[in-house]
Amino acid sequence: MTVCGRAMSRYDAIAALLDQDRPGHTLPQQLYVGQAAFDFDTQVLLKSVWLFACTVAHVKRPGDYFRFDLANTSVLIVRGRDGAVRAFYNSCRHRGARICEAQTGQASRLMCPYHIWTYGLDGRLLAARNMADGFDKAEHGLIPVAIENVGGLLFVCLGDTPPPIDRVKADIAAQVAPYDLEHCKVAVQDELVEEANWKLVMENNRECYHCESNHPELLACLGSNGFGKGLPEDAGAAGAVDDTKFVEVIGAEREEWKRLGLYHELIEFPGDWWHRVARLPLANGAVSQTVDGAVACTKLLAPFAAPNASSLSVWTQPNSWHHFCSDHVVSFSLMPITPDRTLVRTSWLVHEEAVEGVDYDVANLTAVWRATNLQDAWLAQINHRGIGSDGYRPGPYSTEEKLVERFKDFYTSRARAALALEG
């Protein structure tokens, strides 16, 4: 079939939906709830960008591996004997079996359970029994996947031509590196399946317009300013939400951060880049993102000699956000499962020498974000259900939702670029 003299693409319907998109408004219904959009997102769009997979603390020792899946594609992130972290498709070069089914694990070699082809941690095929003469092991190593270490945050790209990442690396690493994620450990990891499209889970993360009515635990320690509203940098912008008191507080805090060597200017999705980095004051005297505001882990992270009443927040398009406190780090990522189900993975990291039950208590460490995640899961779920109904019309963003629009713009621009390449 042809359209205007060219072969009809299986994604022409997506292009038509993108054409309906209105600036300042939510997306057309089928881009959120449709199977075609989900297929496009997982088979094309999300393979054209860098995706956050895990931190270096998830693959701490040689032989540690972490499985990262995008729809039907599975990737293994592996720490080699040389300390380097590599990524490979989780598919055996013999007859294609999945090599590792476990989410995480430790292995001296990667052995396919089917016929026991065995690979080194660097992906080289080491052993394959009874192959014909002329079989070349060197040609049957695991297929590598592009991976980048951004200050201890590991990003993979499943496409053949990964987009630039250099500025993201420089900007994030400069602020995250002092937390020394190589010397952190994963204290606990949660996997929550939200009943909503992945883009709605992201949109929900990109605004705090909903915080005051939904997140009592979070507001007690983190506040809502700085998440799309209230910063001095916002002042004068069309529709900016001014909060004079917060501007005064953060002004004084920034002077203190400069004294401690912690201050960097706000980085907010510069140009066509896909990262935001902001240090924000904690609220109500808190020094950590905990229910009582006290540190959750008494063994502080470098470079802190004392608890600090701020947290560094990092957001990346299209699938992660992270908060760095002086005593722990909480790292979030999402991956689509189906059009209406999304995996949200939350990891709490502490100093590698911190001892559970002595330096930290898991229930206390996780309390604020476990409560917040459940509240957000419900919000994303009702959002998805309402969008899926006949009464849905794309609605206008508020002045507090500029970062939602930045996410939507990232999605639509990358979608158009990917469609152009698809022909």
Applying CB under 6 A, the residues found at the interface with ligand FES are 92, 94-97, 112, 114-115, 117
Write b or e for each residue in 315-336: b if 16 or more Cβ atoms lie within 10 A of its Cβ, otherwise e: bbbbbbbbbbbbbbbbbbbbbb
- What tokens were used for 295? 């540190």
- Using CB under 5 A, which of 203, 243, 253, 376 touches Fe ion? 376
Quick one: what does residue 194 bind among ligand FES, Fe ion, none, with the CB cut-off 5 to 8 Å set by partner type? none
Quick one: what does residue 270 bind among ligand FES, Fe ion, none, with the CB cut-off 5 to 8 Å set by partner type? none
Quick one: what does residue 89 bind among Fe ion, ligand FES, none, with the CB cut-off 5 to 8 Å set by partner type? none
Q: Which stretch binds Fe ion (CB under 5 A): 45-53, 374-382, 403-411, 412-420?
A: 374-382
Quick one: what does residue 376 bind among ligand FES, Fe ion, none, with the CB cut-off 5 to 8 Å set by partner type? Fe ion
What single-letter DSSP state applies at residue 360?
B
- The secondary element (H helix, E strand) that includes residue 130 is none
- What tokens were used for 360? 């930290």
Quick one: what does residue 94 bind among Fe ion, ligand FES, none, with the CB cut-off 5 to 8 Å set by partner type? ligand FES
Closest CB 42 distance from ligand FES, rounded Å: 24
Quick one: what does residue 50 bind among ligand FES, Fe ion, none, with the CB cut-off 5 to 8 Å set by partner type? none
Q: 94 or 385: whose CB is closer to ligand FES?
A: 94
Q: Is residue 401 involved in binding Fe ion (CB under 5 A)? A: no
Q: How many CA atoms lie within 13 A of 47 on its CB side?
A: 22
Q: 203 or 376: whose CB is closer to Fe ion?
A: 376
- Residue with tokens 């498709």, as numbered in its chain: 89
Q: 96 or 251: whose CB is closer to ligand FES?
A: 96
Query: 144 with 87: CB under 8 angstroms?
Result: yes
**Is the N-terminal amide bond of 23 cis, ω within 30° of 0?**
no
Quick one: what does residue 115 bind among ligand FES, Fe ion, none, with the CB cut-off 5 to 8 Å set by partner type? ligand FES
Dist. CA 203–CA 179, nearest whole Å: 28
Dist. CA 301–CA 303, nearest whole Å: 6
Q: How many CA atoms lie within 13 A of 72 on its CB side?
A: 5
Quick one: what does residue 97 bind among ligand FES, Fe ion, none, with the CB cut-off 5 to 8 Å set by partner type? ligand FES
Smallest CA-to-CA distance from 350 within 315, 369, 311, 324 is with: 324
Quick one: what does residue 268 bind among ligand FES, Fe ion, none, with the CB cut-off 5 to 8 Å set by partner type? none
Q: 332 or 360: whose CB is closer to Fe ion?
A: 332
Q: 376 or 401: whose CB is closer to Fe ion?
A: 376
Quick one: what does residue 95 bind among ligand FES, Fe ion, none, with the CB cut-off 5 to 8 Å set by partner type? ligand FES
What single-letter DSSP state applies at residue 144?
B
Bridge partners of residue 74, in order along the sequence: 69
- What tokens were used for 141? 């190593």
Closest CB 217 distance from Fe ion, rounded Å: 11
The side-by-side arrangement of strands in the sheet containing 184-194 is 184-194, 341-351, 329-338, 320-324, 310-316, 275-281, 267-268
- List CB contacts of 89: < 8 A, sequence separation 6 or more: 73, 74, 75, 76, 142, 143, 145
Dist. CA 55–CA 116, nearest whole Å: 29
Binding-residue pattern over the window 333 to 372 for Fe ion, x denoting contact by CB under 5 A: ----------------------------------------
Q: 18 or 112: whose CB is closer to ligand FES?
A: 112
Closest CB 215 distance from Fe ion, rounded Å: 6
Q: 205 or 326: whose CB is closer to Fe ion?
A: 205
Compute, in degrees rounded to 10, the torsion defined by CA atoms 211, 217, 223, 226: -60
Q: 142 or 354: whose CB is closer to ligand FES?
A: 142
Closest CB 97 distance from ligand FES, rounded Å: 4
Closest CB 93 distance from ligand FES, rounded Å: 8
Q: 38 or 369: whose CB is closer to Fe ion?
A: 369
Q: CB nearest Fe ion: which residue? A: 376
Dist. CA 148–CA 182, nearest whole Å: 15
Smallest CA-to-CA distance from 257 within 178, 351, 181 is with: 178
Strand, coil or helix: 154: strand
Closest CB 335 distance from ligand FES, rounded Å: 25
Q: 327 or 376: whose CB is closer to Fe ion?
A: 376
Query: 408 with 402: CB under 8 angstroms?
Result: no
Q: Which stretch binds Fe ion (CB under 5 A): 77-85, 128-136, 375-383, 415-423?
A: 375-383
The contact set with Fe ion (CB under 5 A) reads 376
